[in-house]
Structure 1
């Protein structure tokens, strides 16, 4: 089977969308599929091209057995709505043109975020006469309104209309959790057209391992209790909660806890400058680290923070950070309501707190710091319930079976 996969993000970028597509497509290739990924040059989150790449109209490489075509885009950091929309639109155009230059696929997969990548999939599907599978990880444009990047306006209403048309064009919609399935069904998408393939982990990379101490020494963490946040530091993450918790620690005269924020994003510089100006030594920013170092980071942590702002939209979200922390047998401090809280709570994999509530965050961290056996218990439960069962080896087989069914139906229709 020949698969054309359109994605705005891909390896070596380390965010959740890039990781998902990389882990799935390399396994599709290993299973005998001919996979072509059309993407941009790696530049997330700051709009700066990674070393070794150039922002050209067309360039090609092979990554883990996958044919990767990188196209030109207008580069923009993950902030500033207008520039990001131009970035998204430029990818829609160049990705659609690239789809005409590759061998005709048996099906097209287009992955969100972002929204206009989905429309590139619609155009590619029609131009190449192949069925479209639309992967939904984000309900856009609703999500940009939810985080305050845009307000309700005539433009948003136009985008919502385009969103509905995009869903209608897809032969199958794949999403990452039952929360999204329910949202899509509420928008009139028949349940039989929706498949749920959650995010997962590479069990060969993310598994329990001892801390070798190097990262703690590198960032001056010592033997303190470390609560790590690993991922994009963006508008919707609500990480101001960490600074507020650090102020409470200082007011209590405590120096036994460090919040380690690993990653970059739209608000990282602002938060780091604020923490530095206030002398909040309990908060340590590392900036973006290579994806290959994430197991080392998680091994050094005593607990992992997963947090989003308190908004109804995020009740449907299942952050991939949950599964990576669980696979490393780390207790999770979860500040996400809805499906994520239900999942972590049922698994007994962590402590759930109210989003944006720094008092509860500090209480959860203090409990874990005072009782290492509690952390071990929660971590072991997470490993059994959320780590091993969510390995990409199994998830990719399910995903590939879904794609094969769509391709077979499409071939019959042609």
Structure 2
């Protein structure tokens, strides 16, 4: 029985696409006969207090996993602080603890599967470790430092030459690379890194494809984070237009700007727009499927608009046309497969006009919903995709 160490900051029972992806990797690797161990932290995304609610611990297999299987590093620093220096201290501590664990335990494993972001995880696992026994697989779910520049939170221009060298060293330190976005392959190869690469998007399990009965009234949904990469101003403008058009809009949200959006709903006395607390992955998929179309809105930045957000995959997998301002390969995926409306740098009015088209054209809505489910089974099925990863590893 081959042994695999999965190193990740985000893991079950956390919400969000990162933790859900890592949970699926654990469960499916185990089902294929691998002995999987996870190196992670205590659940804290988007905040640690929400995990006092035990409803998030809804996987019996992982609940029963002993401590030596899911190793949660105890951190002295807190990650979710407003202070950038506090967050940096957290990441540095996590990096050093990951480095120490891998250095002393690597001989026990046949595979080391490390996921980025955050970038400190692969730095700790792969840098200055000497000759590691396991085959090293790096999973890239975000481009860094480019994404840090894109969210425009801190100015790192002075450090970019060094950071880009560290980025390249990270790719070079891996034996193989798994990506969740087709465009990442072009980016990595543009840095003269030519490693074996495999594209595996986020996905769902067959049991999660269950579709609930739709709301009687045409309703739009937005799910997930409203953070620095998402355009909260545009979401507000969309909400105002929905209110004018009397279109029902449910936002299942969390993140640093979610409070701002909730306060906006209250201050503007919006009747057709509702903010709903976050929920577990399965609950969110079930709730999403009751709607008619879904939104995904990111800031107007070339790096951010070329990603494949988890909410896009979730919408497709629940049979909802997705309406977005995304560009690049995700834009092509949506438009060529007829699973929604994607326009790079779309305005709030563009988004609302697309929603109205689906509201008023029942045949278009039905066709794109059917196309979404067809695409979901073809590309976003974990039962199929885990076999591709194992073949790639072996």
Provide TM-score, normalisation by structure 2. 0.89
**Residue 150 to residue 356, structure 1, CA distance change in 2 (3 Å):** farther
Q: CA deviation at 1:274?
A: 2.4
Cα deviation, 1:319-357, whole Å, max 9, x if unaligned, reads 222222122111111221111110011110011234351
Alignment partner, residue 89 of structure 1: 92
1:224-255 Cα distance to aligned partner (Å, 9 max, x none): 422111111111121322210222344x4x32
Could you tell me whether the CA contact under 8 Å between 2:20 and 2:281 is conserved in 1? Answer: no
* Gap regions ≥5 residues in structure 1: 54-60, 214-222, 405-414
Change (3 A) 1:151 1:331: same
Pick closer, same or farther for the CA change 1:79–1:372 going to 2, 3 Å. farther
**Is 2:122 the partner of 1:112?**
no
Shift of residue 163, structure 1, vs aligned partner: 1.6
Deviation at 1:37, TM superposition (A): 0.7
* Higher deviation after alignment, 235-244 or 111-120: 235-244
Residue in 1 aligned with 2:78? 75
1:201 is aligned to: 204
Q: Which residue is 1:220 aligned to?
A: none
Instruction: Give the stretch that moved more between structures: 104-113 or 91-100.
Output: 91-100
Residue aligning to 1:37:
38
Query: RMSD of the TM alignment (CA)?
Result: 2.4
Instruction: Tell me the distance in 2 between the aligned counterparts of 1:16 and 1:113.
Output: 12
Q: Counterparts of 1:319 and 1:89 in 2: how far apart (Å)? A: 27
Matched, 1:234 2:227: yes
Q: Distance in 2 between matches of 1:330 and 1:388?
A: 16
Partner Cα distance (1:241, 1:78) in 2: 26
1:336 and 1:355 in contact (8 A); partners too: yes
- More divergent stretch after superposition (331-340 vs 313-322): 313-322
Tell me whether 1:7 sits opposite 2:8 in the alignment: yes
Are 1:333 and 2:301 counterparts? no
Equivalents in 1 of 2:189, 2:273: separation in Å?
Answer: 41
Secondary structure of 1:5's match? strand
Corresponding position of 1:409: none
The 5 Å alignment of 1:341-360 reads: 341-355=331-345, 357-360=347-350
CA-to-aligned-CA distance 1:67-118 (integer Å, 9 cap, x gap): 2111123222286543332222222122233333587111211101110011
Of residues 141, 148, 152 in structure 2, which corresponds to 1:144?
148
- Mean alpha-carbon deviation: is it higher for 169-178 or for 156-165? 156-165
Contact 1:72-1:91 at 8 Å conserved across structures: no
Match of 1:362 in 2: 352
Tell me the distance in 2 between the aligned counterparts of 1:124 and 1:49. Answer: 37
Question: In the TM superposition, what are the counterparts of 1:388-403 in structure 2 within 5 Å?
Answer: 388-403=378-393
CA distance in 2 between partners of 1:31 and 1:318 (Å): 27
Mean CA deviation greater in 93-102 or 20-29: 93-102
Within 5 Å, give how 1:205-224 maps onto structure 2. Answer: 205-211=208-214, 223-224=216-217
Which sits farther off after the overlay, 69-78 or 111-120? 69-78
- Please give the alpha-carbon distance, in whole angstroms, between the structure 2 residues aligned to 1:376 and 1:93: 52
Indicate the larger mover: 394-403 or 380-389. 380-389
Contact 2:289 2:319 in 1 (8 A): no
